[in-house]
Amino acid sequence: MSDMPATAPITQDVMTLPRKMPEGGKINLVGLTRDQMRDVLIENGTAEKQAKMRVGQIWQWIYQWGKRDFAEMTNLAKAYRAELAEKFEITIPEVVSKQVSNDGTRKYLVRIAGGHEVEVVYIPEEGRGTLCISSQVGCTLTCTFCHTGTQKLVRNLTAAEIVGQVMMARDDLDEWPVPGAPKDETRLLSNIVLMGMGEPLYNFDSVRDAMKIAMDPEGISLSRRRITLSTSGVVPGIVRTAEEIGCLLAISFHATTNETRDVLVPINKRWNIEELLQALADYPRGSNSERITFEYVMLNGINDSDEDAHRLIDYIKRYNIPAKINLIPFNEWPGAPYKRSSNNRIHAFADIIYHAGFASPIRKPRGEDIMAACGQLKSATERERKSRKQIEAEAGIAK
Ligand code: SAH
Ligand code: SF4
């Protein structure tokens, strides 16, 4: 990106993945639930008696083996494969560019229908790898410290475009299993976080359908404990997440008074700290390892005092929430109205939390040199954006 330091050791290559142009009127099978796939197969001529079995077969080809071409689905009759190819397609978002950070983080820009673009980030770590995926182009919310929040919502992603980001990354990591080969238990892509662009709970149905597909044991088969959904605090969506997805939860908490949170995370004006904490207290969980992550961005002089740390702990204790507190050093972006807290301040804050008996890891910024760190994502190509005036007005307390 243009605002990257010129010396940053990055590589950038424009990928030449096979392009699937939308072919007139074909139905994309990616992103459909099993029931939806069954319905479209029947509507398009598959015998009702066979539909369930056909869904199972096609599902495995798409999500277990990563196939995109009906001709390769060798346990289906040749004539049936040809029929499928006439009516359906298996299409995922197209990779426009890929950047690799000096720390191994990969940032992909992917293009979705309508020419919009979203970013996807892969973060390799010891023994695991996390894919940070997007749920919307832009975001309707206007958190004042977030780069995505300066970009107007363009649209919600479809379930196909959400699970398609996972399939795209598996393509790039060359991680689809080969039939007959021994099962490799250490996956390069072992975890998913919904922490890219957008508020996932404002695109609930598509996020749910996509994550259900990612968890399906006859396919990508990621455990629900390896998927974390991050929300700014859409309380009704939190209840539905428990009931309909069952993944882990992270909350963009970021402030310890309603006054400050109203500014940093404006959705707080709709559901305030107390309502949010009550929803978290009610969130069912299977074991202690399923603690709720409190994300807390460290903004110099805004939310990083000792009093803030004490108030944060008091709140979590009062509501008896099994929590871990993830401190995120603020990642600056061009024109950002805040500064990152100093390292000393971040560590002092972390110590208070730790001594109160809570885990308080400090998130290591990854992929900063390619603007891939938390909160830095924003498709530079999206023209429509909020005015500088609006951003400054929203960030009133920074002055
Ligand atoms: N919309 C969802 C998920 C996307 S943001 C949410 O708000 O939770 C993922 C995380 O990055 C959130 O905790 C968000 O508050 C944080 N974040 C946003 N901008 C940031 C920045 N500039 N520096 C550090 N973290 C940031
Ligand atoms: Fe949207 Fe999350 Fe950014 Fe807030 S922090 S503007 S909810 S993406």
Which uninterrupted H or E stretch holds 328?
Answer: strand 323-329
Let me know: does 331 contact 368? Beta carbons within 8 Å.
yes
pLDDT at 151: 80
Q: Which residues are catalytic?
A: 119, 374
Let me know: does 365 contact 332? Beta carbons within 8 Å.
no
Let me know: does 107 contact 97? Beta carbons within 8 Å.
no
pLDDT at 161: 97
Ligand 2 pocket: which of 119, 252, 276 to mutate (most atoms within 8 A of CB): 252
Give the bridge partners for 193, in sequence order: 132, 228
pLDDT at 284: 85
Whether 230 lines ligand 1, by a CB cut-off of 6 Å, is yes
User: Relative to the CA of 230, which ligand 2 atom is closest?
Assistant: 2
Give the bridge partners for 104, in sequence order: none
pLDDT at 393: 54
pLDDT at 399: 30
112 — phi, psi (to 5°)? -115, 175
Split the chain (399 residues) into runs of 10 and give each run's mean pLDDT.
30 32 76 97 96 98 97 97 97 94 92 91 94 93 88 89 98 88 79 95 97 96 96 96 95 98 97 97 81 97 98 97 95 91 97 95 82 59 46 44
pTM over 0.85: yes
pLDDT at 368: 75
pLDDT at 385: 45
pLDDT at 55: 98
pLDDT at 170: 97
Residue identified by tokens 């308080």 is 360
Helix ranges (H only) for the chain are 34-43, 48-59, 78-87, 159-172, 204-215, 235-240, 258-264, 273-281, 306-318, 343-355, 388-394
Ligand 1 pocket: which of 140, 297, 363, 371 to mutate (most atoms within 8 A of CB): 297
User: Relative to the CA of 198, which ligand 1 atom is closest?
Assistant: 1
Q: Which amino acid, one-letter code, is at 237?
A: G
Whether 146 lines ligand 1, by a CB cut-off of 6 Å, is yes
Let me know: does 338 contact 295? Beta carbons within 8 Å.
no
What DSSP state is assigned to residue 180?
T
User: Relative to the CA of 231, which ligand 1 atom is closest?
Assistant: 8
Residue 361 CA to ligand 2 center (angstroms) comes to: 21
Whether 148 lines ligand 2, by a CB cut-off of 6 Å, is yes
- The size of the chain, in residues, is 399
pLDDT at 387: 47
Whether 232 lines ligand 2, by a CB cut-off of 6 Å, is yes
pLDDT at 8: 27
Let me know: does 76 contact 54? Beta carbons within 8 Å.
yes
Q: Whose CA is nearest to atom 15 of ligand 1?
A: 252
Whether 145 lines ligand 1, by a CB cut-off of 6 Å, is yes
pLDDT at 19: 35
pLDDT at 373: 65
Residue 77 CA to ligand 2 center (angstroms) comes to: 48
